[in-house]
Structure 1
Amino acid sequence: MEAKKVLFYDIKSYDKELFKRFGKDYNLEMKFLKGKLNEESADLSKGYEIVCAFANDTINKEVIDILAENGVKLLAMRCAGYNNISLRNIKDRFKVVRVPAYSPYSIAEYTMGMILALNRKIHKAYVRTREGNFSISGLMGFDLHGKTAGIIGAGKIAQILIKILRGFGMNVIAYDPYPNYDKAKELGFEFVDLDTLYANSDIISLNCPLTKETKYIINRESMSKMKDGVMIVNTGRGRLIDSVDLVEALKDKKVGAAALDVYEEEAEYFFEDLSDKVIEDDILGRLLSFHNVLITSHQAYFTEEAVEAITKTTLDNIKDFIEGKPLVNEVK
């Protein structure tokens, strides 16, 4: 049987190594591109029925039209989110699959790491001591024990995070539009409405998907309801937070600290080495200037276990499509 051709966009060296390692038994002819999928690069899909893309690729109407005209039959996303795809413009012209789960532990553990680093100023202390400055002025944090964490979105990742937070002796409250009260009882947390969560949380973690309802769920109005000095942590999606409003809240000291592994305009920056360039995004530049803001480059998922799971699930999704099997991870 002839090998099926697959075109991979936005591939890093670690992606390529894993797809080549695990793809040996899948009878695939894989071509890897470093560039992102967008209007300029979409035409490279000519001659490929299967295209694989990632979280920060641009898959709008123009790109979808080009993919369909080029005969693409499957778009395999190697990520869980698909908010970067204009699904309404696909119109059944090709299938879309994703990786709904890989390692919820990776993101939950990373979230806790960001909380600890930001609270205890570990990132600042590291830089100081590297430069021979052993002063601890300005590095004071607070005990997590006895504080209240508010979790927005109580799915698998959040449930693991809640276990970790409870291990630190924290009180946990959560908001979810579909509350699982049995799970709350099992893990020792309470479901509340958003206003109650805002008013009572010392730390707020965003663990919800990006939808019409959650877009900019953290904004000027919602932050006005929070405790003065609240810490906000986002390992979900960038557009859960209105970044302009966050900058103002940080300046006003309404928000005491922010840990961001995602950013609403991250596509041009995250996953790339731009150390020799000027950051032209004024809001990102402003956020990077705050001493009480910790920003990382969408790496919460980035563990060996998670990346291997993403690779294997993507390959299995492609194999099911080729063999005409039901697509269990199809995005409708």
Structure 2
Amino acid sequence: MLPLLQHFSLSTTCHLLMKVLIYSAHEYERPFLTHAAQGKHELQLESRALGAATAELARGYEAVVIFTNDDASAPVLEQLQALGVRYVAVRAAGHDQVDSAAAQRLGLRVCNVPNYSPYAVAEHTVALMLALNRQLLRAQANMRRSDFRLDQLVGFNLHGKTVGIIGCGKIGGVLAGILQGFGCQLLAYDLYPNPEFVQRYGLRYVPFEELCATSDIISLHVPLVPATHYLMNADTLARCKSTAMLINTGRGGLVDTRAALAALRAGRLGYLGLDVYEFEKGRFFEDHSQDAAPDPLLEELLAEPNVLVTGHQAFLTNEALTDIFTTTMASLDAWAQGQPSEHEL
């Protein structure tokens, strides 16, 4: 566990509008936060996540800023409200960690960052596809051992392959554009089809079952809600090609990890690329290299040669971080001035 990051006021030349506690803060965020804040708020960075045990730290603060794996469930929100917190800003697009109904009941204003460089996530998605397909991890490990054989490194052309995009919004649309450049055949499943994507990228909207059955690669870009929890499970995976590649850069809970691992081992799934993991809370974003008890399921995943897991870093680009903190600070500015945030939930 990282120590408490030092308290700092970003400027003394401007009027401080609001006292803000930023949970799950990391050093890589500091320069982007400093640039976006422009000295308008008194900020405290806290490396620990928001939860029942850390809510008390928000005493005396008007707003808290949280991230993906913070806990903003009803009991925690009740604690925050009792401590005088009035605003909760999620510095991410996904906000399933917030009990929105409880926030409304308690009179807490909540916002998120719905749009931040969809290119970052889409490009990382393609990076997972290419690294898995071309066996880059295995190839690099062989090189380090001076083993220059090409056995077990045969991949396939992306050109001409059918890629199914589940959730074709901003990120899915950018991904479609990238994959069009590779010469892929594009399918999409979305509750709200975008005719512009059909014309621009030549993709076809198809039923979910057809997408699963015909795609060589399936990429997930939907929010985590009750209807999408375990969207990819034993039954839906059984509908996929046995050679299919499944990529998830959305939310960990979209995939039943144990079912996916079983499908891989049984030869019913070809590849699995994850930037998110259903049990990542309390593990991702922190150094657990000295832990005596690692996550056994994650260890099993990482032991598979056709699995690649990254630690929820698809968003991690200069451009995306700039967008995230600029938008978050704009919401805090609006609230401090008695105005609604443009991105309130």
TM-based fold match above 0.5? yes
Match of 1:88 in 2: 101
Match of 2:249 in 1: 235
Q: Could you list the per-position Cα deviations for residues 184-239 of structure 1 after superposition, in whole angstroms to 9, with x for gaps in the alignment?
A: 12211100001110110000000111122111110000011111111000000000
Q: 2: distance between equivalents of 1:230 and 1:183?
A: 24
Match of 2:9 in 1: none
Q: Contact 2:135–2:153 (CA<8 Å) still a contact in 1? A: yes
Q: Contact 2:159–2:183 (CA<8 Å) still a contact in 1? A: yes
Match of 1:165 in 2: 179
1:216 aligns with 2:233: no
**Amino acid aligned to 2:236:** S
1:67 aligns with 2:50: no
Q: Contact 1:279–1:285 (CA<8 Å) still a contact in 2? A: no
Match of 2:303 in 1: 289
Q: Which one of the candidate residues 226, 241, 244 is aligned to 2:258? A: 244
Match of 2:58 in 1: 45
Q: 1: distance between equivalents of 2:174 and 2:248?
A: 16
86-95 or 189-198: bigger deviation: 86-95
Q: How far apart are residue 5 of structure 1 and its match?
A: 0.9
Q: 1: distance between equivalents of 2:272 and 2:147?
A: 25
**Matched residue of 2:246: which SS?**
strand
| Structure 2 runs not aligned, ≥5 long | 1-14
How does the TM-score come out when normalised to structure 1? 0.96
Change in 2 beyond 3 A, CA 1:208/1:129: same
Q: Could you list the per-position Cα deviations for residues 58-108 of structure 1 after superposition, in whole angstroms to 9, with x for gaps in the alignment?
A: 111221111010010000111111001122222142100111111000111
Q: 1: distance between equivalents of 2:292 and 2:300?
A: 13
**Matched residue of 1:327: which SS?**
coil
Q: 1: distance between equivalents of 2:95 and 2:256?
A: 20
**Amino acid aligned to 1:72:** V
Q: Contact 1:181–1:191 (CA<8 Å) still a contact in 2? A: no
Q: What CA RMSD, in Å, does the superposition of the two structures yield over aligned residues? A: 1.3
Match of 2:319 in 1: 305
Q: 2: distance between equivalents of 1:2 and 1:237?
A: 36
> Superposed, which structure 2 residues align to 1:49-198 within 5 Å?
49-90=62-103, 91-198=105-212
How does the TM-score come out when normalised to structure 2? 0.93
Q: Could you list the per-position Cα deviations for residues 158-205 of structure 1 after superposition, in whole angstroms to 9, with x for gaps in the alignment?
A: 111111111111111110011123321221110000111011000000
Q: Could you list the per-position Cα deviations for residues 261-280 of structure 1 after superposition, in whole angstroms to 9, with x for gaps in the alignment?
A: 00011012111121222453
Q: 1: distance between equivalents of 2:160 and 2:329?
A: 45
Match of 2:7 in 1: none
Match of 2:23 in 1: 9
| Structure 1 runs not aligned, ≥5 long | none
**Matched residue of 1:205: which SS?**
strand
What is the number of residues matched between the two proteins?
A: 330
Change in 2 beyond 3 A, CA 1:2/1:179: closer
**Amino acid aligned to 2:177:** K
Q: 1: distance between equivalents of 2:58 and 2:39?
A: 23
Change in 2 beyond 3 A, CA 1:309/1:279: farther
Match of 2:282 in 1: 268
